[in-house]
Structure 1
């Protein structure tokens, strides 16, 4: 798909992107959003402010440069990002705009180092990668349960912990909801302070129910999460996408499943465990959940009931700062010694990690240092595109 000279040129820029990638992407978003302020309706304002989106794009550019002659290596990441793009409404016509500004910012930041041959090579490479995204997303749009965002009615709200609230949703027109696979999410949209704010929340219900349950953590300074928790009322409607996401387990495999979650990272696993209890009660499942203490431990009673009724499902609790009355298995920051007993029982397990970027990185490092094959591990960070290998 790309000529050898183009591949050679792109690979040669990898060290430059490792050094200057963040400067390029920071300048890129500044220019793009100044010239196309309508895109503020798509981008996450908090991630822009914290620099998370800029770092994610820088990581993606570097990965593309390293793997440019084997783009199949980045296909799983492309699929993950494409699912999110579909859920927030990214369209094919956005890609030429992004490509133009990306090349402009490379030239602005790298100056004389951005030679004509480098810019031409990246223009060609971007075209190939953009085509991959566009085609993948076109298929996802065709497969989606509905077109565009649809209004869902809030039927119930339940406080799950000190910082997580579950919101139950049904279609405003009374029709059936599109099916989903446990581990997926929906994007919800609300206009806040003059801009559409779009966020993804894991579905914590069972796919067979004609009701979605999303579970929202109130983030410090989070425009939408705090609105959903404190202001959204039962009976109101909110716009939502059809389900999306690739963080799902194999239904055809009989291998044990090990779920490791930090804080709100437990949310995709709730749906997985509830679904496995109904559909595959004989499959071994191990949940290791780390959180501050019982006040922040969402779904504890729900999971404890499942564990009590199914001997094939086990749960391990790690509290960083337990209260005097708390009951738990380990105290402190998650460590390999806490995981070792489960890893010994769950040999050959498919391992899933969910939580913040830092939590996922730390657990991934613990597992691979312990000797777990990276092919056994999948992860979901509640921040933009995280690559660990």
Structure 2
């Protein structure tokens, strides 16, 4: 239990964390991996190189410090992190290692300002957070292995079918090698996949959204082949997605975790607007299928993609809207060719904008779910701000740590 004086010290460090948070977390990750290289079996190296993970952690630490005496307000952040930790099989013994390096990084960056009282207060704060996180994570692990068809850790699943959905996205239909039932999941959740690419020194874990509603026998994950930006080593960014596309075939097995994730539909009667960009379509199409088939809630499915060759699940989208009058779709192509037919292949040219979107939106208050790359997420946030959509009606998931510390902080 933290002392009130310790809480006050932690809250007093908020301005310092705003100024030096990224520097602290950058030092933290550097020393953490230098002294514990085996943790690269858990963390994505590409997110370390581009700085996204450090910014995300800095934002989370700052949010925690600011709410140290109102932890009930951090439920969303805790759920997001613990579900990700569960898919990575983070264990209680990892927390002391992380805590030691975090306190060392605070001392290194703040120097004389990191007094013994400040370090003691942050040690207590970290201990409190670790207790909260491990408690939630152990509950998720227990649920994962005790549910029908569940398992602990990573279990082999067989690739029953491999389907090319577009030039950049391929689906993998997975079944139990024994024919056993697979655990159910909520639309929007993801599957943690672990693989070791030949000649790579570490195993790597990635999360891929489940793109079709649960049926008890198969999972479908749909994977975009990632290319490496110029500032990130190609050997790291896109490592697993390229391995799946090129080297995993029908009849092969992959190691998978039971489904996790907190980007799921809220249970109410409000209309739903699903907005996806690029591969963000993978959780959105699963949510759309669920709402079309199993609900009477009006739902608008909005998808933005570069061009028709990148457009996945177009037939599925048309079939769902044709069969279910309460389900509608709006598709944007950034690049339109003479062969593209408006009203059949796409509905609007260019990027999502408030003017093009507004005529399709429900007249009554709605829940907005959006997912995709960082730039798309920022554009959607701007549209929702212009529409005065309350924060309580927005639910989102980005497919990478945000490169903007300000955006990550707002999200936290």
What's the TM-score bracket when you normalise by the shorter of the two chains? over 0.9
Q: What residue is the counterpart of 1:167 in the other structure?
A: 172
Report the Cα distance in structure 1 between the residues aligned to 2:87 and 2:220, rounded to whole angstroms: 17
Aligned-partner SS, 1:226: helix
Quote the residue 1:257 is aligned against: 272
Identify the match of residue 327 of structure 2 among 313, 321, 341. 313
Instruction: Tell me, in whole angstroms, the C-alpha distance in 2 between the residues paired with 1:116 and 1:333.
Output: 52
Q: Which residue of 1 aligns with 2:205?
A: 198
1:348 aligns with 2:365: yes
Q: Deviations over 1:165-199 (max 9, x none)?
A: 00010112221111111111110011121211100
* Contact 2:193–2:255 (CA under 8 A) maintained in structure 1: yes
What residue is the counterpart of 2:222 in the other structure? 215
Shift in Å at residue 334 of structure 1? 2.0
Q: Does the aligned pair in 1 maintain the 2:211–2:221 contact within 8 Å?
A: yes
The residue number in structure 2 matching 1:297 is 311
| Partner-residue secondary structure (3-state), 1:388 | helix
How far did 1:240 drift?
0.2
The equivalent of 1:56 in structure 2 is: 56
Q: CA deviation at 1:341?
A: 1.7
The structure 2 residue matched to 1:334, chosen from 352, 361, 366, is 352
- Where do 1:38-57 residues align within 5 Å? 38-57=38-57
* 1:155 is aligned to 2:160: yes
Whether 1:357 aligns to 2:362 is: no
The answer to whether the 8 A contact 1:258-1:346 is kept is: no
1:239 equivalent in structure 2: 255
Q: CA deviation at 1:387?
A: 5.1
Larger relative contact order (Cα-Cα within 8 Å, sequence gap ≥ 6): 2
- Pairs aligned (count): 386
1:317-351 deviations in whole A, cap 9, x for unaligned? 112222222232222232211221233x2521111
SS in 1 for 2:196: strand
Instruction: Trace 1:102-113 onto structure 2 (pairs within 5 A).
Output: 102-113=102-113
Q: TM-score, normalised by structure 1?
A: 0.96
Q: Following the alignment from structure 2 to structure 1, what is the Cα–Cα distance between the partners of residues 196 and 250? A: 18
Q: Which residue, out of 226, 240, 245, partners 2:242? A: 226
Find the aligned partners of 2:357 and 2:7 in 1 and give their Cα distance: 42
Residues 166, 346 of structure 1: CA spacing in aligned structure 2 closer, same or farther, 3 A cutoff? farther
In structure 2, distance between residues paired with 1:321 and 1:246: 33
Aligned equivalents of 2:3, 2:401: Cα separation in 1: 31
1:267 to 282, 290, 302: 282
Work out the CA distance in 2 between the residues paired with 1:286 and 1:224.
32
| Residue pair 2:293, 2:324 contacting (<8 A) in 1 also | no
1:380 is matched with 397
Whether the 8 Å CA contact 1:316–1:329 is kept in 2: the answer is yes
- Paired with 1:136 and 1:202, the residues of 2 have a C-alpha distance of 22
8 A Cα contact 1:207 1:275, kept in partner: no
Structure 2 unaligned spans of 5+:
145-149, 229-237, 403-407
Structure 2-normalised TM-score?
A: 0.91
1:15 aligns with 2:15: yes
